[in-house]
Amino acid sequence: MRTLQVILNTILSKNIFEYLLVDRALRVTSASYGIEKYLGSMPQEGDDVLDYLPELVGSEEEVKTIFLKKFCLYSLESVYKNDYYVNITVEYCDENTAIILLHNITANTLSKQKVLQYSNESTLLYSTLQKVVDNQNALLFVTNSEKIEFANKKFMHYFGAETIEQVRKKELNLYQNLDKKLKNYDELFELTNDKEEHIRIGSDTFIVQATLIESIYKLFTLTKVTTLSNEAMRDSLTGAYRKSYFNSKFEMMVAESTMCVLVVMDLDDFKQVNDHYGHQVGDRVLQEFARLIEKNIRKGDMFVRWGGEEFLLVLQHTSLADAKVKVERIRQKIASYVFPEVGHLTASFGMVALQDEEDADSIFFRADKALYQAKATGKNCIVVKED
């Protein structure tokens, strides 16, 4: 018997199997060293095995039959013991001894549970999402990394599809419609999560927003720009256009080679206003500054808050020379204006005209360079870059 125990300890006790040996009275005669992790304590010789495996209570007669029939066994599957899942098998050892094997199946069981849980959650997810998205006015679709999994009726109607299968066959790959080089919908999610981006589909422009709804699923909302409210397009503080809205419009101008001049401007030494008077006064200064600009531009010109005290102005169908005359008038208006609470302030300007076959990054770079030069040469001036 001692030899049997040594062999069993060597072969079975590898964090996979542990065992108990019991006699005909179901008293413990021996046990493997690792059995304690399943039972909570180490059985001693002579202990009633039912105290450690109450799962066998009520099946004593079936277990005792094993001593009479060599090829008979009794088993219990997926028993939860002390934070582990085990299969319990009682088998014939000799006419006076039965061996109870505990097989660790924790990893396998948890994997199966996750698969089942995922299946159930996915079914519920599909049902719930379909109801929600079909009642939205925006175009909604749900993706994994590579493809569209769900879409609402408005989305399918827009793309001329009646079912999600027809949408998939079209291989829309909407992440390729941005000016950024994106490889899949995960990258589109990273770009649009918690912020707005614009996407062009044919002749339409949409604001795209993203929300994570499950570890592999992302919900995207497409809202047509032409249906946006004024509040959605405008900066809440200054009333200038939002950066996100401007991006799509300016991309269209560049793509269509629209004759235009880009002006980058900001208030000189604005940080000192915030530091000396506080941010609330600084906000009121920005509002007054924006009002001065709006009063001195045409309806078709586009005034944009780029961030902080930096603003953009796009003058369409205007030569660089004519644009400089207009911007100089604006510069003088600002310099002569007395801002409530802070007095006189000035602004600096960088100006460039859109060139043939130029992209948006290039014209922004040139305009920023011009503004930097204006700041470096004393501020309160205009620098025009023609190359």
> What is the per-residue pLDDT across 85-117, written as a single tens digit (0 to 9) for each?
888 888 887 788 888 888 877 765 555 455 445
Domains 2-104 and 230-385 share a fold: no
Q: Which residue has the higher pLDDT, 349 or 181?
A: 349
Cβ atoms of 259 and 252 within 8 Å: the answer is no
Cβ atoms of 346 and 268 within 8 Å: the answer is yes
Beta strands in the chain (DSSP E): 17-22, 28-31, 73-81, 84-94, 97-104, 139-143, 148-151, 197-201, 204-214, 217-224, 260-267, 302-307, 310-316, 338-339, 343-344, 347-353, 382-385
Q: Which residue has the higher pLDDT, 144 or 11?
A: 144
How many Å apart are CA 286 and CA 341, to the nearest integer?
Answer: 12
Cβ atoms of 264 and 328 within 8 Å: the answer is no
Cβ atoms of 316 and 258 within 8 Å: the answer is yes
Q: Which residue has the higher pLDDT, 140 or 135?
A: 140
Helix (H, G, I), strand (E, B) or coil at 199: strand
Comparing CA positions, the residue from 232, 231, 207, 201 lying closest to residue 221 is 207
Give how far Cα 302 sits from Cα of 96, 197, 225, 254, 281, Å: 95, 18, 16, 14, 26
Please tell me what DSSP assigns to residue 308.
T
How many Å apart are CA 324 and CA 243, to the nearest integer?
Answer: 23
Q: How many CA atoms lie within 13 A of 252 on its CB side?
A: 14
Which segment of 69-73, 94-98, 171-175, 267-271 scores lowest on mean pLDDT?
69-73
Q: Which residue has the higher pLDDT, 61 or 127?
A: 61
pLDDT digits (tens, 9 = 90+) for 201-225: 776 777 788 888 766 778 888 877 6
Amino acid at 352: V
pLDDT digits (tens, 9 = 90+) for 181-192: 778 888 888 887
pLDDT digits (tens, 9 = 90+) for 5-19: 444 444 444 445 778
- What superfamily does domain 230-385 belong to in CATH? Reverse transcriptase/Diguanylate cyclase domain (3.30.70.270)
Comparing CA positions, the residue from 320, 312, 315 lying closest to residue 353 is 320
Which segment of 67-71, 215-219, 299-303, 310-314 scores lowest on mean pLDDT?
67-71
Work out the pLDDT band at 337, boundaries 50, 70, 90.
very high
pLDDT of residue 15: 44
pLDDT of residue 232: 61
Cβ atoms of 100 and 43 within 8 Å: the answer is no
Question: What value does the mean pLDDT take over residues 166-186?
Answer: 76
The residues pairing with 196 across neighbouring beta strands, listed in sequence order, are none
Cβ atoms of 143 and 217 within 8 Å: the answer is yes
pLDDT of residue 288: 93
**What is the topology classification, in CATH, of domain 114-227?**
Beta-Lactamase (3.30.450)
pLDDT digits (tens, 9 = 90+) for 42-89: 999 999 999 999 888 888 888 888 887 766 778 887 788 888 888 888
What is the distance of C-alpha 25 from the center of its chain?
61
The residues pairing with 222 across neighbouring beta strands, listed in sequence order, are 139, 208
Name the percent of the chain in helix, strand, coil, to the closest 5. Answer: 40, 30, 30
Q: Domain limits of the chain?
A: 2-104, 114-227, 230-385
Asked if the model's pLDDT at residue 40 lies above 70, the reply is: yes
- Percentage of the residues of the chain whose pLDDT score is greater than 70: 82
Task: Please give the structure tokens belonging to residue 216.
Answer: 């592999």
**What is the topology classification, in CATH, of domain 2-104?**
Beta-Lactamase (3.30.450)
Q: Which residue has the higher pLDDT, 333 or 244?
A: 333
Phi, psi of 38 (to 5 degrees): -90, -35
Amino acid at 155: F
How many Å apart are CA 208 and CA 199, to the nearest integer?
Answer: 7
